[in-house]
Amino acid sequence: MRIVRNVAAIFMLAGLGFTGSVQAADDPIATRQAIMSSVGAAAGLGGGMMKGEVTFSPVAGKAAIATMNAAAASFGDFFPEGSDQGDTGALPAIWENADGFAAELAKFSAAAGKAMEASGKDGPADLDAFKAAMGPVFGTCKSCHETYRKKN
Ligand code: HEC
């Protein structure tokens, strides 16, 4: 059930491309957290297919990749000055070392952009193609979180 819901959410978010976000203007923390939640859902779907817990399909692979790509393109827009305060998992290092954070964002969007290209119009042809495309995107989570996200 959970996976079915996540897939629906991914299709919705990928379709919107985040352009229509209603919270963007007044609640950047909620917006960036919602974007990262979609990344978490896409990682759940993608990781599930990689582990064989979810049956691979090209269209689901493409949905996971498109979600990563949309998130990478929009996430960085929701860190205005002052939004380090409040209910957020973002560390002050984001604002203290803005260039370093931008570099992590650039790695994320480069990997997601490449995965988009590799997956073509119809999605990755098979699971190996999906792993090759998505693997580098997964590689970017940890290095950003390590420095810029609070530990739970
Ligand atoms: C460029 C930096 C960066 C990258 C890359 C990144 N994250 Fe995050 N992530 C963050 C930050 C910062 C937060 C905390 C946001 C906040 O609470 O304001 C976060 C929060 C999250 C959350 C919690 C969202 C919520 O509901 O509060 C999840 C889940 C998550 N990330 C998953 C991932 C996964 C999976 C990847 C890799 C595919 C990834 N992230 C890549 C910076 C990043």
List the chain domain ranges: 2-77+87-148
- What is the Cα 56 distance to its own chain's centre? 19
Average pLDDT, the chain: 89
**What is the pLDDT at residue 26?**
81
* Residue tagged 């609640």 (tokens): 27
Kindly list the protein residues whose Cβ atom lies closer than 6 A to any atom of ligand 1.
29, 32-33, 36-37, 39-40, 43, 88-90, 104-105, 108, 137-138, 140-141, 144-145, 148-149
pLDDT at 2: 53
Among residues 120, 29, 6, which one has the least CA distance to residue 81?
A: 29
Q: Label residue 19 by pLDDT band (50, 70, 90).
A: very low
| pLDDT of 21 over the 50 cut | no
CA of 41 to the centre of ligand 1 (A): 11
Q: What is the pLDDT of residues 96-144, one digit of tens each?
A: 999 999 999 999 999 999 999 999 999 999 999 999 999 999 999 999 9
For residues 39 and 13, the model is more confident at 39
**Phi, psi (deg, nearest 5) at residue 42:** -65, -35
pLDDT category at 60 given cuts 50, 70, 90 is very high
CB 10 within 8 A of CB 64: yes
Fold of 2-77+87-148: Four Helix Bundle (Hemerythrin (Met), subunit A) (1.20.120)
